[in-house]
Structure 1
Amino acid sequence: MANGSSTKSLPQGVRLRNGAIQIYFERNKQKYNITLPHPASAEGISAASKIRDQLITKAQWGILTEHDIAKARGESVDEQYVIVGDGVLFQEVAQKYLKHCESNLDTKKGYRNILQKHWMPYFALMPIHKITTEDIKDIILEEDFQTAKTLNNCLIPLRGVFAAAVESKYITENPIQNIRNKKVQIDIPDPFSREEMSALLSWLNTNLKGKDHFYYWYYELAFWCGCRPSELIALRWSDIDWFNGTMRISKSRVRGVEKNVTKTHTAREVYLNDRSKIALKAIQELNLQNDYVMICPETSEPFFNEKPPRIRLVEAMKSCMIRHRPAYNARHTYATMLLMDGVNPVFVADQLGHSLQMLIKRYAKWIHGDKNKIEMAKLNTK
Structure 2
Amino acid sequence: MGQTKQGPALPRGITVRQHKTGETLQLTFTFNGVLCREPLSGMEVNPRNIKYAERFLGEIQNRISQGDFNYLQYFPRSKKAVLFGHHKKKKRVKDYLDEYLVISENRNLSPSTIDGYRKCMKALRALHNIYVTELTPAALKSWVSSQTTKLKTIRNRLSFLRSAIDEAVTDGLINDNPVAHINASRYFSIESGNTEEYEVDPFTPDEIKVIYLNCRYLQWKTTFQFAFNTGVRPSELCALKWSDIDFQKRTAFVQNAVVEGVYKGTKTKSGTRKIELNDEAMQALNDQKQFTLMKSLYVFEDPTIGEPWLGSKAIHQKAWRYIMRDSRLRYRNPYQTRHTFATMHISAGANLFWLCKQMGHKGPDMLFRNYGSYLSDYDGHLSRPSIKTGSE
Pair in the same fold by TM > 0.5: yes
Please name the residue that 2:295 is paired with. Answer: 289
Please name the residue that 1:47 is paired with. Answer: none
Please name the residue that 2:309 is paired with. Answer: 303
Please name the residue that 1:147 is paired with. Answer: 149
Measure how far apart 1:110 and its partner are: 3.2
Q: 1:326 to 1:263 in 2, by over 3 A?
A: farther
Measure how far apart 1:97 and its partner are: 3.1
**How big is each residue's C-alpha offset from its partner over 1:298-337, in whole Å with a ceiling of 9 and x where there is no partner?**
122222322223134314532xxx5444333222222222
Farther-moved stretch of structure 1 (157-166 vs 353-362): 157-166
> Is the CA contact (8 Å cut-off) linking 1:215 and 1:312 kept in structure 2?
no
> Is the CA contact (8 Å cut-off) linking 1:232 and 1:294 kept in structure 2?
yes
Structure-2 separation of matches of 1:371 and 1:292? 38
Question: Of the two, which has the highest radius of gyration?
Answer: 2
Please name the residue that 1:178 is paired with. Answer: 181
**How big is each residue's C-alpha offset from its partner over 1:206-265, in whole Å with a ceiling of 9 and x where there is no partner?**
x73xxx221111122111111122221222223223343222223222333333232677
Structure-2 separation of matches of 1:188 and 1:106? 19
Q: 1:281 to 1:122 in 2, by over 3 A?
A: same
Q: 1:119 to 1:257 in 2, by over 3 A?
A: farther
Measure how far apart 1:356 and its partner are: 0.6
TM-score normalised per structure 1: 0.61
Structure-2 separation of matches of 1:85 and 1:236? 59
Please name the residue that 1:133 is paired with. Answer: 137
Q: 1:352 to 1:168 in 2, by over 3 A?
A: farther
Instruction: Establish whether residue 276 from structure 1 lines up as the match of residue 281 from structure 2.
Output: yes
Please name the residue that 2:333 is paired with. Answer: 326
Structure-2 separation of matches of 1:164 and 1:240? 47
Q: Which runs of 5+ in 2 are unaligned?
A: 1-84, 189-193, 382-392
Structure 1 residues 1-382: aligned runs within 5 Å: 85-87=87-89, 89=91, 93-94=96-97, 96-101=99-104, 103-112=109-118, 114-115=120-121, 118=125, 121-123=128-130, 126=131, 128-137=132-141, 140=143, 144-149=146-151, 151-166=154-169, 171-182=174-185, 183=188, 184-186=194-196, 189-201=200-212, 203-204=213-214, 208=216, 212-262=217-267, 266-287=271-292, 288-304=294-310, 305-307=314-316, 308-318=318-328, 322-354=329-361, 355-365=363-373, 370=379
Partner of 1:191, secondary structure, is coil
- Equivalent position amino acid for 1:176 in 2: V
Farther-moved stretch of structure 1 (352-361 vs 150-159): 150-159
Structure-2 separation of matches of 1:324 and 1:112? 25
Measure how far apart 1:297 and its partner are: 0.9
Structure-1 separation of matches of 2:121 and 2:245? 41
Structure-2 separation of matches of 1:134 and 1:365? 35
Q: 1:238 to 1:96 in 2, by over 3 A?
A: farther
Structure-1 separation of matches of 2:344 and 2:140? 46
Structure-2 separation of matches of 1:347 and 1:353? 10
Count of matched residue positions in the alignment of Structure 1 and Structure 2: 276
Q: 1:339 to 1:316 in 2, by over 3 A?
A: farther
- Equivalent position amino acid for 2:222 in 1: W
Q: Which runs of 5+ in 1 are unaligned?
A: 1-82, 373-382
Farther-moved stretch of structure 1 (283-292 vs 180-189): 180-189
Partner of 2:253, secondary structure, is strand
TM-score normalised per structure 2: 0.59
Q: CA RMSD in A?
A: 3.5
Structure-1 separation of matches of 2:154 and 2:345? 36
Q: 1:235 to 1:168 in 2, by over 3 A?
A: farther
> Is the CA contact (8 Å cut-off) linking 2:228 and 2:341 kept in structure 1?
yes
- Equivalent position amino acid for 1:289 in 2: K
> Is the CA contact (8 Å cut-off) linking 1:342 and 1:367 kept in structure 2?
no
Measure how far apart 1:273 and its partner are: 1.4
Structure-2 separation of matches of 1:254 and 1:132? 36
Q: 1:265 to 1:93 in 2, by over 3 A?
A: farther
Q: 1:263 to 1:118 in 2, by over 3 A?
A: farther
Structure-2 separation of matches of 1:264 and 1:166? 33
